Structure 1
Amino acid sequence: MGLEVKFPLLLLLLIPVLYLVFLYVRKNKKREFWLVAGLRTAIFTLLILALAIPQILLPVKGEKVIFLMDRSDSVRNGDNVALDWIEKSVKGKDKEDAFSIVTMGKDAFLEQALGKQKLSVTEFNTKVDGSETDIESGIQFAASILPKDSGGRIILLSDGNETIGNSKEGAKLLKNRKIELDSVLMERAIQEDMSITDLEVPPSMYKGEEAQISLTIDSNSSKSAKVRISVNNQDVLTENVAVKEGKNVYRFSYKVEETGMTVFKGEIATDHDTFIENNSMYSVSDVKGTPKVLVVQGKESGQIDAILEGTGLLVDVIVPEKLPTVLSGYLQYQSIIFNNVPGTVITENQMNLIERAVKEFGTGFVMAGGDESFGLGGYFKTPIERLLPVDMDIKGKKEMPSLGLMIVLDRSGSMMGGKLELAKEAAARSVELLREEDTLGFIAFDDRPWVIVETGPLKDKKKTVEEILSITPGGGTEIYSSLEMAYQELEDLKLQRKHIILLTDGQSATSSSYEDLIAAGKEKNITLSTVSIGSDADRGLLEDLALWGSGRFYDVIDASVIPSILSRETVMATRTYIEDNPFFPVMVENPDWSFLAEGGVPQMNAYIATTPKSRAAVPFMSEKEDPVLAEWQYGMGHTIAFTSDFSGKWSGDWARWEKWPAFVSHLVTRTLPQYETEPYRVSLDKNEGNTIVSLEAANGGGHTLPLETAVVSENGEQIATNTKLVAPGKYELSIPDSSGMYFLNVKQTDQTGNVHVYQTGFTVPYSEEYLLKRANKDLLKELVGLTGGKELSVEKDSFRPTASKNYLKQPISQWLILLAFLLFFVEITIRRFGMGRLFGWLIRKQVEPTGGTSRVERLPVREKAVVKTETVGEANAAGSVNTPVESKTKVKRPKPVEKTLTAEEKEERMRRLLEARKRKN
């Protein structure tokens, strides 16, 4: 046991304290003052000691050891070796020794808590992200398990190949806490592996150019492999190559036929390959040339591809079901045209990708009308509506027929999860499309119908939405009784439109006749549409129900289209969004479109009613002031809404107009983006688990103008980032270090107000965890040396005594402060009452009579007394004064006559004596 003072310099305060106490007692000789001075010295000494924080050091028995196991992919299949080492180490520990187990990769996790247990875990239970090795965070986590004021030992079982973090900084912190770091080398098993370490293509090319592709492969063995090169997810080259041990560089050429952002991907495949994570890599090139347009066409959409190709544009035509599912599938086009495309066949993810391409990368977008477009196509409250210059809701401007809508929703157990949530969201979206005077009813069913919203006028939309969103999943599936209830609710209502929407993912048997039920409903002007969700639904039955009910049948594979279906059905039920009275569009003063209005414009047959957004420009409108053509800037992209159609069915004489090709061409070319040519050089680096993207002005300019940047991953997820200026003309942005393909859009406004846009892509390569590296013995040796640890080769050394003894530190400051306060109260009491009162009881005990007789028989009497007599001389006649004369006369006092005192008189005399002494003191 020992004593440690945390702040020893504070003990110097004792010097002024002792000096002040000395000044206090210097002129006071009484014992009472010396006692007070001693108490004050003790009080101040105790308080100063308490401030210095003394700690009693109590020896701790046993060692504390943390086993830190590297479970990253570079030591894949090393779990059994590590567990065997730990088990043998634990068997040799003393009963007072304690240990814990921590596993790490990209993050660290506690596998077994610190304790004196005799057995270790037999298998690792935590799931570790092995794509990175962060030894620093593992060390910090392990150190946090050890008691704060005591040392211990961390045993690192690793190959030493760290990919993120700085383990040396973590080791320095261990040294300050007197924690030793030992290492156990985990050798990577010698296995065959082949990896792509580089894929190079020119960052900028022209259409028709022979792209020179350089592919670098590293291998630790000689064998054959298959190399595959793809461009925008289309395979363009496959070749078998002979790979030698070491570094191999292969060159291929490919004639670029597509313009726009072009993504190259290199892949290899071989037998007995350890890591597949390092078998692919991306590269991006911006191919300049003729703009490329994607036309997505539904039925009865006409043929505008011939018109666009006649203007020199490159055109790809697809059906909506073939829309790309990754962002790169859209970025290769300069504009996207939706020609009468229903939103019910486009997933939420595809809509989000299109919105990203428009907003962040400047891709243009055009939507043309038709009976399956805009509100009739189910685009209400979708990402497509967000990017367009018009709202699908006509916001009460039209006189709409009275409508009664019943939604019958399956809430059985099979709908649990995403399907039910999307269905509820879809129903809530339909409520927003309805007017307050419309009638709404909502029935949810499992093995019986449940009325969620009573059938009646929609007076409180907010409350209705809350009731719909509160639906929870239930039990089985029974359709007929719920559908019958829906018909009963609508049949007697005096409404112009009565419509039922049935959504289910299951099957239901019944002895009743659906056909009779629906036929009776049709007599009451009730229509029915059905939605089949998933593969388990009875598609045949639902399709028949929609056919009998004069409605529409939707076969849903991706549940994210349900909201579009319900919004489409709600709009279709009113049948008033189509304005089908022939009219002459009105040209609004607009210099960009005025050349078309020279000599007037022809007649149109119909359009879809929409509402222009506040910032939208409307060059052409109808006689009812509805937009026929509207445009605006959405983020980086320009979008246009043409509410008539391209087929001629609605556009009427416009499709036969001599300026029709010029109109279509101008409509599309206005949406084409304008890009700079390679204004920046892009480079990548890694720092503390992040990827640092550096942008440096290619022309050597030293401008310091701010940049607006957007980074989007291949799957359309926008990556949050901030751009900072690090030097004139050089910028940096940081993104999380996650391998994959990313697209970068840069926007800069110069001093004259002109906007410059640049877009490119970059690939974050796979982690260094998957590179062919041997164990980093040098790093492990350096870490061990920083903390005074040891490179272990035998398990018995795991619990050897640490170089610095472990103590449990027990602070005693609070006890010193308590003692100081007790002495302080004693000192106050002495100064207030005096020694006499405090210790008078001792005196009384000494003078108490024994056997009824007082111990003091008589008072002490002086035998002699000296009388001083001063004589003051009288003044003489001359005014002199006689010198005073002091005369000493011995007076002999008579000897007192002893008198026998009674016991009462003796006690009275003693009492007066004690009182006299008290007054004297």
Structure 2
Amino acid sequence: MGVSFLYPEALWLGCVLPLVWGVALLAPAHIAAWRRWLSLVVRTIIVLALIGALAGAQLVQPPGITTTIFLLDGSDSVAASQRARAEAFIARALAVMPPDDRAGIIVFGREALVERFPAPERTFGAPVTRPFGSATNIADALQLGLTLLPAEGHRRLVLLSDGGENRGTARLIAQDAAAQGIPIDVAPLTGSADGLDAQIIGVTLPSTAREGQRLPLRIDLESNTSVAGRLMVTGPDRTTVATIPVEIGTDRQTVEILLPEAPAGFNRYTAYLEVPNDARTQNNAIETFSYVRGTPRVLLVAQAPDDAISLERALRAARIEVTVVSPASIPATFGELIRYDAIALINVPRALFSNETVQRIAAYVRDFGGGLLMVGGPQSFGPGGWRGTPVEAALPVTMDIPERQRQPPVSIVVVIDISGSMAATEDGIPKLSLALEGARRIAALLRDEDELTVIPFDDRPGVIVGPLPGSRRDVAIEQLNQVRLGGSGINIHDALRVAARYTRASERPVRHIITITDGNDTTQQEGALDIVRSLHDEGVTLTSVAIGQGDHVPFIRDMAAVGGGRTFLTERAADVPDLLTGETQTIMTPYIVEGSLTPQQAMPHPSLRGIDALPKLYGYVLTTPRETAQTTLVAPDGDVLLAGWQYGLGRSLAWTSDLSGRWAKEWVAWDAFPHFSVQLVTWLLPQQTGDTLTIATHAVGDALVVEAITRTPDGAPHIGLNVESRLIAADGATVETTLREVGPGQYRISLDNLPAGAYLVQIVARDGQGRAVAGATGGAAMPLSAEYRRQAGDRYLLEEIAHITGGRIDPQPHQVFEPGRAARGMAREIGLPLLWLALVLLPLDIALRRVFIRHASIAAALRHIGLRALARRLEPQEALDTGVASSLPSPPTTPPRTITVNRSPASPLVPSANELERLRAAQEAARRRLRGEDEE
């Protein structure tokens, strides 16, 4: 047992002790000697206790127990047999662990995890903790092991690994352990697989190529024993492009395959090695890429093939590669979409695309530099429901119609069938819920000056919503949420009579009724058409929607024919919301303008280069150009026919007429139409920005470094940009990061934990205002982790760790608990107890100098509690202890004299001055004796 101090410099405060002693001894004595000396001892102890507390005094016990932490390699490079051997070693060591010692276990791979905290537990089974095995991080394991070791006792680490480090730097942590006197014993494991291990070491393929070029693919192979196998390579469309037999030996060999001509765009290739009975298959596949630029590729998206046939023929004649698909077949990932240089949406409605696809098309233009062309028609632009979508944001026009074309306020009355047949579900959703969703969409589309009334009806009207102005659309939507299912079939005659009452009461100039009924449940038809006819004569139109085929569909169609509206027949109730949205937009905003017109050129544009006279058009869709758009062609009244603009890194065009025989029959038959179409699409093609932004990628260990170099048009480094990167894997997974500026115009990021494979890389550089100033597309190949490329571990590293720390190589199980060279005793801080000691002694010191208790008081207290014998023993000492008896004069032995004083009746008896002085002196002497001042 010893004493140590955390802050030994505080011991210099002991110099104040002589000062304390000098003051106590040289000061005048006012108390008894024994009190003064005892007080001095107490004060000395108080000062020493305070100095010890300030110095961080602690008691140090000699080291006794040993704490050992086992570091078990759980990475994929350690074969199952080797891991079982390591676990058996730990189990044997724990079985012979001394009684007072403790052991902990850490399992590590890519990261280190605690399997067991230090404890006297002697049993061990298979580890429960499973770290990611795709890397070996010995440094992380050593650091965590040092953290788990206690501050006292004998301490030791035992590393069980193949030494195949590919993350961290174990040597640095070993040096820290050596500085703390902690030895690291090493039990080397082998990195060889349990049996045959053939693998692909690496691949080499040109990262860029010209279209039509056949690329050489070089594949490096290796095996721990000679074996025959088969090597396969799949191409961009995941079809097999090469299959060859191979004979693999123990020496590295290279196989070269001449790939077929690659299509333009980003092409992934995957090499597979098939070998029977391969014990480790993780290293039998590898991805690479090549980026091929060549003939432009254009994707035409059309619902009806005839809508795209004219544009398709014109582009093919110009040797542009064209692919025509339906909306349902549009590429579902960025990786597939960016294989095309431009996309054309030809008279297709928004409802045929998922939300993800709409967002992907907008990002394709903004972030990837692709081109977008929207071609008009009855189901495009506003009539197609594209308003408020990301695609509208990418176009040079909005779906708003010019103010001069706006319709006057509209009153819409919706009659909804709430009979029992509307309870039928579709994909788990009742038909009534879908009909009400359509009504809610109508409410959301209302302008403030419009009006909405919703009449739920079966054999009688339900709770009617409205009439409410568009400014109270939120109230209308809330009330629609309260509509509930009714009973029998809908009495259409009574429903129309109620609807007529509301439409006639409305002051809006445009009035329209929409009926939503089941095709088999529309009863009470007699007289209903007369109501519709009368309303039509008053300027009220009617549209009918029938859900499902049935006997009443002809009557539902007749209602719309008499009412001057349209009939929508649908088998799916899920179509109703979109149908009602489109119908409402048609009523409120007359998007389509039809009639003969000759386009006029508003400003020059590359698409019109070499074109003078323009043929006639017979219709178009109303839109409003954006302020920064280039409006090229307009109708005679100024409406937009052709407009374009830059959106992010890409460009987009809006052609508001169609490209079919309906509105553009003279245009598509025009001799210059192929020339016009090619120039139109050519303007959309991605712009080459290689001079202003270049991409470089390379792997460093298990990290992928992505670098971008930016320049201004005059060649100077472009600094202060926000450079963002997007990496897209073969499965569509996306990794988005922001590059850091590491030098003038040089931006870089290092990506860890990236799965092996080939990645499409898209980089966008933006200025301080968020505007895209440059962009580039390239590729990156993340090689297979070194964890799977090794045939054996690194024994030299393990030996070096043991040598640095003074540990053993291949210790016996009982040796891992032997005391090390350096150990720390168990230290217990006593600063707080010393403070408490000083606080307890301080009142005692004060009592010794200031507090005096008479024996008579003690005797009285003893008598009070029944100890009378002890009280009598204290009573004879009363006079001596208090000093009162000795201070008074002895009693006289002779009778006192009688002093006669003559006084008059009017004069009091007054003692003489001498008598008073003697009395005061006697009292003062008694007080001093009581205080003990005369006991010396």
**TM-score interval (norm. to shorter):** 0.7 to 0.9
Alignment-derived partner of residue 669 in structure 1? 682
CA contact (8 A) 2:437 2:577 kept: no
Alignment-derived partner of residue 663 in structure 2? 650
CA contact (8 A) 1:497 1:526 kept: yes
Alignment-derived partner of residue 905 in structure 2? none
Question: Is 2:759 the partner of 1:742?
Answer: yes
CA contact (8 A) 1:224 1:240 kept: no
> How far apart are 1:673 and its partner, in Å?
1.7
Query: What code does the residue aligned with 1:850 have?
Result: P
CA contact (8 A) 1:675 1:759 kept: no
CA contact (8 A) 1:260 1:291 kept: no
> Of 158, 167, 172, which aligns to 2:170?
167
> How far apart are 1:774 and its partner, in Å?
0.8
**SS, match of residue 617 in structure 2:** coil
Alignment-derived partner of residue 329 in structure 1? 336
CA contact (8 A) 2:11 2:52 kept: yes
Query: What code does the residue aligned with 1:309 have?
Result: R
Aligned length, in residue pairs: 828
Once residues 621 and 269 of structure 1 are traced to their aligned partners in structure 2, the CA distance between those partners, rounded to angstroms, is 63
Question: Is 2:310 the partner of 1:298?
Answer: no
Question: Is 2:86 the partner of 1:69?
Answer: no
Once residues 493 and 152 of structure 2 are traced to their aligned partners in structure 1, the CA distance between those partners, rounded to angstroms, is 77
**SS, match of residue 660 in structure 2:** coil
> Of 204, 207, 216, which aligns to 1:200?
204
> Of 755, 763, 771, which aligns to 2:781?
763
Once residues 112 and 761 of structure 1 are traced to their aligned partners in structure 2, the CA distance between those partners, rounded to angstroms, is 44
More divergent stretch after superposition (307-316 vs 852-861): 852-861
**SS, match of residue 361 in structure 1:** coil
Query: What code does the residue aligned with 1:211 have?
Result: L
Question: Is 2:792 the partner of 1:774?
Answer: yes
Alignment-derived partner of residue 876 in structure 2? 850
**SS, match of residue 315 in structure 2:** helix
> Of 396, 403, 412, which aligns to 1:389?
396
**SS, match of residue 255 in structure 2:** strand
Residues 758-793 of structure 1: CA deviation (Å, up to 9, x unaligned): 431111122212213312222233334444444455
Alignment-derived partner of residue 288 in structure 2? 283
Matches within 5 A, 1:96-135: 96-112=100-116, 114-117=118-121, 119-120=123-124, 122-135=125-138
Once residues 85 and 423 of structure 1 are traced to their aligned partners in structure 2, the CA distance between those partners, rounded to angstroms, is 71
CA contact (8 A) 1:192 1:220 kept: yes
Residues 251-279 of structure 1: CA deviation (Å, up to 9, x unaligned): 23345453344444433333333444433
Alignment-derived partner of residue 604 in structure 1? 617
Question: Is 2:696 the partner of 1:693?
Answer: no
> How far apart are 1:202 and its partner, in Å?
2.5
> Of 927, 930, 933, which aligns to 1:915?
927
CA contact (8 A) 1:405 1:439 kept: no
Residues 602-627 of structure 1: CA deviation (Å, up to 9, x unaligned): 54333344555565444345578664
CA contact (8 A) 1:160 1:780 kept: yes
> Of 693, 698, 701, which aligns to 1:684?
698
> How far apart are 1:357 and its partner, in Å?
3.5
**SS, match of residue 338 in structure 1:** strand
Q: Which runs of 5+ in 2 are unaligned?
A: 457-461, 504-510, 533-541, 558-566, 860-872, 898-917
Report % sequence identity.
Answer: 23
CA contact (8 A) 1:378 1:565 kept: no
Query: What code does the residue aligned with 1:641 have?
Result: A
Alignment-derived partner of residue 712 in structure 1? 727
Alignment-derived partner of residue 12 in structure 2? 12
**SS, match of residue 777 in structure 2:** strand
Alignment-derived partner of residue 271 in structure 1? 276
Query: What code does the residue aligned with 2:263 have?
Result: E
> How far apart are 1:377 and its partner, in Å?
4.7
Once residues 98 and 455 of structure 2 are traced to their aligned partners in structure 1, the CA distance between those partners, rounded to angstroms, is 71
Once residues 146 and 484 of structure 1 are traced to their aligned partners in structure 2, the CA distance between those partners, rounded to angstroms, is 80
**SS, match of residue 12 in structure 1:** helix
Residues 34-87 of structure 1: CA deviation (Å, up to 9, x unaligned): 777766654443333223222334578755444443322222535655554444
Once residues 489 and 176 of structure 1 are traced to their aligned partners in structure 2, the CA distance between those partners, rounded to angstroms, is 96
Question: Is 2:96 the partner of 1:92?
Answer: yes
> How far apart are 1:96 and its partner, in Å?
4.5
CA contact (8 A) 2:348 2:379 kept: yes
CA contact (8 A) 2:366 2:650 kept: yes
Alignment-derived partner of residue 830 in structure 2? 812
Once residues 247 and 647 of structure 1 are traced to their aligned partners in structure 2, the CA distance between those partners, rounded to angstroms, is 62
Once residues 283 and 59 of structure 1 are traced to their aligned partners in structure 2, the CA distance between those partners, rounded to angstroms, is 62
Query: What code does the residue aligned with 1:196 have?
Result: I
CA contact (8 A) 2:197 2:280 kept: yes
Q: 1:849 to 1:326 in 2, by over 3 A?
A: closer
Matches within 5 A, 1:497-516: 497-498=513-514, 515-516=519-520
> How far apart are 1:165 and its partner, in Å?
2.2
- Report the aligned-residue RMSD: 5.5
Once residues 815 and 375 of structure 1 are traced to their aligned partners in structure 2, the CA distance between those partners, rounded to angstroms, is 84
CA contact (8 A) 1:153 1:179 kept: yes
> How far apart are 1:366 and its partner, in Å?
1.6
> How far apart are 1:220 and its partner, in Å?
2.9
Once residues 234 and 851 of structure 1 are traced to their aligned partners in structure 2, the CA distance between those partners, rounded to angstroms, is 116
Q: 1:382 to 1:62 in 2, by over 3 A?
A: farther
CA contact (8 A) 1:296 1:339 kept: yes
CA contact (8 A) 2:49 2:835 kept: yes
Once residues 540 and 771 of structure 1 are traced to their aligned partners in structure 2, the CA distance between those partners, rounded to angstroms, is 65
> How far apart are 1:411 and its partner, in Å?
13
Alignment-derived partner of residue 264 in structure 2? 259
**SS, match of residue 605 in structure 1:** strand
Matches within 5 A, 1:188-267: 188-235=192-239, 237-245=241-249, 246-254=251-259, 256=261, 258-267=263-272
**SS, match of residue 496 in structure 1:** strand
> How far apart are 1:713 and its partner, in Å?
1.5
**SS, match of residue 742 in structure 1:** strand
Once residues 919 and 464 of structure 2 are traced to their aligned partners in structure 1, the CA distance between those partners, rounded to angstroms, is 105
Once residues 423 and 272 of structure 2 are traced to their aligned partners in structure 1, the CA distance between those partners, rounded to angstroms, is 46
Once residues 206 and 163 of structure 1 are traced to their aligned partners in structure 2, the CA distance between those partners, rounded to angstroms, is 37
More divergent stretch after superposition (405-414 vs 328-337): 405-414
Residues 377-409 of structure 1: CA deviation (Å, up to 9, x unaligned): 555555434433344576995556726497999
Once residues 597 and 798 of structure 1 are traced to their aligned partners in structure 2, the CA distance between those partners, rounded to angstroms, is 89
Once residues 743 and 357 of structure 2 are traced to their aligned partners in structure 1, the CA distance between those partners, rounded to angstroms, is 39
CA contact (8 A) 2:442 2:584 kept: no
> How far apart are 1:635 and its partner, in Å?
1.9
CA contact (8 A) 2:856 2:878 kept: no
TM-score (norm 1): 0.74
**SS, match of residue 838 in structure 2:** helix
> How far apart are 1:918 and its partner, in Å?
6.7
More divergent stretch after superposition (180-189 vs 853-862): 853-862
Residues 206-234 of structure 1: CA deviation (Å, up to 9, x unaligned): 22333233222333343344433444325
Once residues 440 and 223 of structure 2 are traced to their aligned partners in structure 1, the CA distance between those partners, rounded to angstroms, is 57
> How far apart are 1:808 and its partner, in Å?
4.6
Once residues 417 and 57 of structure 2 are traced to their aligned partners in structure 1, the CA distance between those partners, rounded to angstroms, is 76
Question: Is 2:373 the partner of 1:366?
Answer: yes
Residues 808-863 of structure 1: CA deviation (Å, up to 9, x unaligned): 54322222223334445556x47xxx83x42464799899863999898986999x
CA contact (8 A) 2:112 2:140 kept: yes
Residues 447-503 of structure 1: CA deviation (Å, up to 9, x unaligned): xxxx999798576666888999999xxxxxxx99799799999875457353669xx
> Of 571, 575, 581, which aligns to 1:570?
581
Once residues 336 and 745 of structure 1 are traced to their aligned partners in structure 2, the CA distance between those partners, rounded to angstroms, is 18
Query: What code does the residue aligned with 1:710 have?
Result: S
Query: What code does the residue aligned with 1:361 have?
Result: F
Once residues 486 and 134 of structure 1 are traced to their aligned partners in structure 2, the CA distance between those partners, rounded to angstroms, is 77
> Of 409, 412, 428, which aligns to 1:402?
412
